[in-house]
Amino acid sequence: MDIFTSKMDLQRHVQALKSVGKTIGFVPTMGFLHEGHLKLVERSVAENDITIMSIFVNPLQFGPNEDYDAYPRNPDKDQVLAKQAGVDVLFMPDSSDMYDQEHAFHIHVLQRTDRLCGKSRPGHFDGVVTILMKLFHIVGPNRVYFGLKDAQQISVVDSLINYFDFPIELVAVETVREQDGLARSSRNVYLTNLERKEAPYLYKALKMGEQQILQGERNVERITQMIHEYIEKNTSGKIDYIELLSFPELRSLSSIQGKVILAIAVQFTRARLIDNTILTVGN
Ligand code: PAF
């Protein structure tokens, strides 16, 4: 596995690979790798000649009161895991290389961000698309891999790729879960012992909602209310949102039909957990 910290060196390396016709799969991450990331790598390795992973905790996507400084980091372990998983090229720039000039632009996302995490994290997706545009230009991948746990991120990246005509295929990969259903996340390490026991109720709640829809419930309010009560009863977390929307457009539903997402965010003491389920509903 080759490791690059300079974007110029990486660009040169990528150009050489492309000149001999290699296809490139790209897995952008913020490190502290877990099964979820490794699943993305597995898929990329299966579908491309070369897999490039980036590890960069992007300051631009953290709000002033968020956990940028405290975001978990373990670059040494990440290198071992990335190599074992089959990553060919690891890009680990530091902040001064990625943002080596004054900010001359502010990229602002106008759609798909006024609800779910975008609503409670203003500016977050502006930071995500800024770093992704830079990384897409540096890496020039054929395919890019994202986990469905961050479904709003997938929705925004889908729009980014279409709007700016990046010749990149977006691949959305199923959420990896613990045995008890808790979605894998770098932030799970922040849960207290009690919260860790409560956390699987998020997924149970989503499954319950899904079941209701499959059994014919078509009232959005009733479904979200039921989930609300269930989460309040079984966890000590504070509910940020529970929403049922169209996917990937993230619009309110006049009727529960077609591809829909049931999404949830709960704030525990130190960890804010998100999860979702996406389903297709017939008439
Ligand atoms: O999902 C993440 O880890 C980040 O938002 C991403 C896509 C690597 C951009 O910094």
- 113: domain CATH number is 3.40.50.620
Alpha-carbon span 259 to 236, nearest angstrom: 31
Domain end call among 173, 201, 230: 173
Q: Clarify whether residues 127 and 31 are in a common domain.
A: yes
Measured in angstroms, how far is the CA atom of residue 130 from the centroid of ligand 1?
11
Residue 192 pLDDT exceeds 80: yes
Q: Clarify whether residues 44 and 105 are in a common domain.
A: yes
**Amino acid letter for position 67:** D
Q: Clarify whether residues 128 and 195 are in a common domain.
A: no
Helix (H) or strand (E) holding 85: helix 75-85
Q: Is 276 in the pocket of ligand 1 (CB under 6 A)?
A: no
Ligand 1 pocket test target in 32, 131, 155 with most atoms within 8 Å of CB: 131
The mean pLDDT value for 255-260 works out to 94
Measured in angstroms, how far is the CA atom of residue 203 from the centroid of ligand 1?
22
pLDDT tens digits, one per residue of 110-153 = 999 999 999 989 999 999 999 999 999 999 999 999 999 999 99
Residue 159 belongs to some domain of the structure: yes
Q: Is 199 in the pocket of ligand 1 (CB under 6 A)?
A: no
Residue 67 pLDDT exceeds 90: no
Residue 139 belongs to some domain of the structure: yes
Q: Is 128 in the pocket of ligand 1 (CB under 6 A)?
A: yes
Residue 275 pLDDT exceeds 90: yes
Of ligand 1's listed atoms, the one at least distance from the Cα of 28 is 8
Q: Is 93 in the pocket of ligand 1 (CB under 6 A)?
A: no
Q: Is 34 a catalytic residue?
A: no
Number of domains present in the structure of the chain: 2
Residue 181 belongs to some domain of the structure: no
Q: Clarify whether residues 164 and 193 are in a common domain.
A: no
Q: Clarify whether residues 147 and 268 are in a common domain.
A: no
pLDDT tens digits, one per residue of 33-58 = 999 999 999 999 999 999 999 999 99
- Residues 79, 53 contacting (CB under 8 angstroms): no
DSSP notation for 164-192: TT---EEEEEPPPB-TTSPBP-GGGGG--
Q: Clarify whether residues 23 and 130 are in a common domain.
A: yes
The two tokens of residue 43 are 């898929």
Alpha-carbon span 184 to 241, nearest angstrom: 19
Q: Is 131 in the pocket of ligand 1 (CB under 6 A)?
A: yes
Measured in angstroms, how far is the CA atom of residue 27 from the centroid of ligand 1?
9
Residue-number span of the structural domain to which 214 is assigned: 186-281
Q: What is the dihedral of CA 85, 87, 91, 92, to 10 degrees?
A: 20
Q: What is the pLDDT of residue 18?
A: 97
pLDDT tens digits, one per residue of 204-256 = 999 999 999 999 999 999 999 999 999 999 999 999 999 999 999 999 998 89
Q: Clarify whether residues 12 and 132 are in a common domain.
A: yes
Residue 178 belongs to some domain of the structure: no
The mean pLDDT value for 181-208 works out to 96
pLDDT tens digits, one per residue of 154-175 = 999 999 999 999 999 999 999 9
Q: Clarify whether residues 29 and 143 are in a common domain.
A: yes
Mean pLDDT over the full length of the chain: 96
pTM to 2 decimal places:
0.94
Q: Clarify whether residues 17 and 119 are in a common domain.
A: yes
Domain end call among 151, 173, 195: 173
Residue 283 pLDDT exceeds 90: no
Q: What residue's CA is closest to ligand 1, atom 6?
A: 29
Residue 50 belongs to some domain of the structure: yes
Helix (H) or strand (E) holding 260: strand 258-267
Handedness of CA 223, 229, 230, 236 (dihedral sign): positive
Q: Clarify whether residues 19 and 99 are in a common domain.
A: yes
Residue 146 belongs to some domain of the structure: yes
Q: Tell me the percentage of the chain whose pLDDT exceeds 70.
A: 100
Q: Is 29 in the pocket of ligand 1 (CB under 6 A)?
A: yes
